[in-house]
């Protein structure tokens, strides 16, 4: 590999780090090609990507990114998992795959410039997805307005019920 190819690889990795919302490190030593392809497909479905790169290239690509904390953890065979959309969904896929395949181990991750140990990555994977959190937030925001609307409509509804009862009594007396 000549210098131009190396520089191109580092630039491509740097671009991935720059676009990612979460990056996770995993060792996948001993995984066969079909399992790695299965992981790549699962990650792609949730807006993620699995990449294997030389540690020296990855260290250079980390410079001036939010994931610089991973620099010292790039030791031995390491796979890079990039999440571009929902960090929880990507983490869930990786943790589930690691549970099913004991040859994959999660080393660490970085989210919002915070270094995540393997236990923190597991905790992140147990969080509800972005869509569920947004729905919960929307429900919480709408609750006071819905209650206010019900309160405002109640006097009119009571009046309607009273009028219906009076009408029913009058019809029964005839």
User: 71: helix, coil or strand?
Assistant: helix
pLDDT at 46 over 80: yes
Predicted confidence at residue 97, as pLDDT, reads 92
**Please, what is the average pLDDT of the chain?**
88
Confidence check: pLDDT of 1 > 80? no
Confidence of residue 136 (pLDDT cuts 50, 70, 90): confident
At a CB cut-off of 8 Å and minimum separation 6, what does 59 contact? 71, 74
C-beta of residue 48 within 8 angstroms of C-beta of residue 84 = yes
Contact between 31 and 101 (Cβ < 8 Å):
yes
Looking at residue 137, its pLDDT comes to 87
pLDDT band (50, 70, 90) for residue 15: very high
């Amino acid at each position: 590999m000549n210098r131009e190819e190396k520089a191109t690889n580092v630039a491509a990795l740097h671009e991935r780090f720059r676009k990612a919302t979460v990056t996770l490190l995993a060792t996948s030593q001993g995984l066969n090609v079909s399992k790695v392809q299965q992981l790549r497909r699962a990650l792609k479905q949730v807006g993620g990507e699995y990449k294997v790169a030389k540690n020296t290239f990855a260290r250079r690509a980390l410079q001036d990114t939010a994931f610089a904390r991973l620099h010292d953890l790039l030791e031995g065979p390491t796979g890079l998992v990039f999440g571009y959309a929902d960090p929880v969904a990507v983490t869930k896929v990786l943790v589930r795959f690691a549970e099913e395949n004991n040859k994959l181990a999660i080393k660490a991750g970085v989210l919002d410039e915070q270094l995540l140990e393997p236990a923190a990555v597991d905790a992140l994977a147990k969080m509800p997805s972005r869509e569920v959190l947004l729905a919960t937030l929307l429900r919480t925001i709408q609750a006071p307005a819905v209650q206010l609307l019900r309160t405002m409509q109640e006097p009119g509804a009571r009046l309607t019920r009273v009028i219906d009862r009076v009408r029913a009594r009058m019809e029964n007396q005839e």
